[in-house]
Amino acid sequence: MGKQNITVRIEVTGMTCTSCEQHVKKALTTIGANNIFASFRKNEVTFEVPDKSYIQFAKEAIIKCGYTPRHEEIILQQNRLELSNDGDYDLVIIGSGGAAFASAIKAVEYGAKVAMIERSTIGGTCVNIGCVPSKTMLRAGEINHFSKQNQFLGLNTSAGPVDLSTLVDQKNELVQYLRHEKYINLIDEYGFEFIQGEATFVDEQTVEVNGQKITAKHFLIATGASPSIPNIEGLNEVEYLTSTSALQLKQLPKRLAVIGSGYIAMELGQMFHHLGSEVTLMQRSPRVLKAYDPEISEAITKAITEQGISLITNATFNKVEMANGTKLVHITVNGENMVVEADEILVATGRKPNIEKLNLELAGVKIGSRGEVIVDEYLQTSNPRVYAAGDVTMGPQFVYVAAYEGGLVADNIFGSLKRKLDLTVVPGVTFTTPSIATVGLTEEQAKAKGYEVKTSVLPLDAVPRAIVNRETTGVFKLVADAQSGKVLGVHIVAENAGDVIYSATLAVKFGLTVNDLRETLAPYLTMSEGIKLAALTFDKDVSKLSCCAG
Ligand SMILES: Cc1cc2nc3c(=O)[nH]c(=O)nc-3n(C[C@H](O)[C@H](O)[C@H](O)COP(=O)(O)OP(=O)(O)OC[C@H]3O[C@@H](n4cnc5c(N)ncnc54)[C@H](O)[C@@H]3O)c2cc1C
């Protein structure tokens, strides 16, 4: 460990453009500050200086160049690392998605010399082929669906045919914009190296990229996951879609058969349905989202089937073939053979970790039965020099989990914080219509953990926001500890459930009780009022409540 350093943020008013940012940066360079990030959008500048006495000099320098420093705070006090002698870098990160960027940014803030290696498109899954493209296309689908099927008598908003090609071009533009803003631009902003190429370990402290060997004191494997394709006879002979290619399709399939039932299958299946395809969702398990509470599966099944999506559960996939230009999926359901005909087949049966090119044996990194990189509670692998974060570890596959893990790795390597991974309270959202959002324990999980459980199940037609929206298929379910009243889990199927779940996450994380929820005002007419109403219904009949949930 070397000298102490502090990172300071000062609110600055008067900056209106990127030139102003440059003026402030230049002024702070003259007083010896490092890692300076000025932002006129955020009205702030952050920078590193050796100690507190520099803050006054910084403020004077900002005033001198014509801007007004206001409130300041020390946001990080760190032991700045001496750069390593044993390697080209302090940290080499393989991958450039959410886990990678969160880790790189934090590692640089600790003063580490960092390189990031990416074999494909910078930004990884979320921005390029995952969250962003799927959600913007889902939104287009929703608008199309609601304009065709509005529930309000008197409104006549008939939608014309969907021009998928234009939608996809527009989506690609958005992806490109966000890739630049949220990833590419940050490389220079934070000051780490980006290497385009595929990384392969050659020994426990070296990777090879484009024929060049790179050594490092530490490595982070953040290589994510890709669609996993099931072994179904004939599938490989028929052209099928994955989530990646489905989001690039320029012509709407008339009939789409979806193999799979996880959140990606549900979202993309519904997106195509909303855009105008006839969609059949097929799955092996007896109910959709089988890991969730049965009330959640029931509510979403009702909603999507009411909308006209065909749902086939308990299916055994026998074979897939092409006949006269039509794709045929042969299945057996409850002993009966059936054939589902489609113009396109989407395979969305889960994801597998991207480890195939890493040569993990040479790195001394162990993998598990699903090919996932095995990590301990500090995200360290069996090689103490190598860490792993994000989808490659096969934990909850959400970008915010990946980013949290990437940051934790940097804290543990460079801050010596010994932070333990804590995934006890992870909210999850499926962006269907209505959406599904859950956090904490299901009723079954709570019982298995030994809680004496009490639950409240509130149908959505008891929630005023849903009534006025005329969209009442859904449910709020609260799971609580009968002894302490603590909220253990919240599970919702409702419009905007994804926005509502954050308050539930706070309740579960910070141990709020059912009484706390009852005694907290909930704004009328919002969907989040459903949480309060569900809390009130533990021992009251909701139909007896006045309209304002008193
Ligand atoms: C259709 C879809 C929708 C989704 N929607 C959401 C959502 O709404 N909300 C949400 O939170 N999450 C969503 N996710 C999940 C989310 O995108 C992932 O959990 C997250 O992006 C994982 O981040 P990561 O950093 O672990 O890996 P990734 O972002 O996958 O990045 C890994 C990178 O490593 C690169 N790589 C792999 N091997 C090598 C190698 N040997 N050398 C160099 N580079 C390599 C890959 O090319 C890739 O770019 C969605 C996913 C999909 C597929």
Which region among 16-30, 279-293, 485-499 has the lowest average model confidence (pLDDT)?
16-30
pLDDT in tens, 98-119: 999 999 999 999 999 999 999 9
Indicate if ligand 1 lies below 6 Å from the C-beta of 399. yes
Question: Which residue in the list 65, 131, 190, 400 is annotated as catalytic?
Answer: 131
The mean pLDDT value for 5-28 works out to: 88
Which region among 146-155, 279-288, 350-359, 403-412 has the lowest average model confidence (pLDDT)?
146-155
Residue 186, preceding peptide bond in cis (omega within 30° of 0): no
Collapsed DSSP state (helix, strand, coil) of residue 53: helix
pLDDT in tens, 351-395: 999 999 999 999 999 999 999 999 999 999 999 999 999 999 999
pLDDT at 403 over 70: yes
Closest CA to 428 of 511, 493, 379: 493
Q: State percent of the chain over pLDDT 90.
A: 81
Verify whether residue 15 is a known catalytic residue. Answer: yes
pLDDT at 25 over 80: yes
The mean pLDDT value for 329-350 works out to: 97
78-90: buried (b, 16+ CB within 10 Å) or exposed (e) per residue?
A: bebbeebeebbbb
The mean pLDDT value for 290-314 works out to: 95
Q: 7 CA to middle of ligand 1, Å?
A: 30
Give the H/E segment covering residue 30.
Answer: helix 18-30
pLDDT of 84 reads 46
pLDDT of 40 reads 83
CA atoms of 104 and 222, how far apart (whole Å): 11
CA atoms of 54 and 48, how far apart (whole Å): 9
**Matching residue, tokens 């309740």:** 507
Q: What DSSP assignment string belongs to 378-444?
A: TSB-SSTTEEE-GGGGTS---HHHHHHHHHHHHHHHHS---PPP--SS--EEE-SSSEEEEEE--HH
Verify whether residue 65 is a known catalytic residue. Answer: no
φ/ψ of residue 349, rounded to 5:
-110, 35
Tokens, residue 261:
């039932």
Closest CA to 148 of 266, 432, 140: 140
Tokens, residue 528:
């989040």
**Sheet bearing 4-13, strands edge to edge:** 34-39, 44-49, 4-13, 68-79
Question: Which residue in the list 110, 116, 126, 527 is annotated as catalytic?
Answer: 126
Average of per-residue pLDDT values in the chain? 92
The mean pLDDT value for 69-90 works out to: 67
Of the residues 131, 386, 400, which should be mutated to test ligand 1's pocket, given the most ligand atoms within 8 Å of the CB? 131
State pTM to two decimals: 0.84
Indicate if ligand 1 lies below 6 Å from the C-beta of 194. no
Closest CA to 475 of 294, 288, 262: 294
Whether 331 and 315 have beta carbons less than 8 Å apart is answered as yes
pLDDT of 86 reads 62
Greater pLDDT, 416 or 93: 93
pLDDT at 258 over 80: yes
pLDDT at 156 over 80: no
pLDDT of 46 reads 84
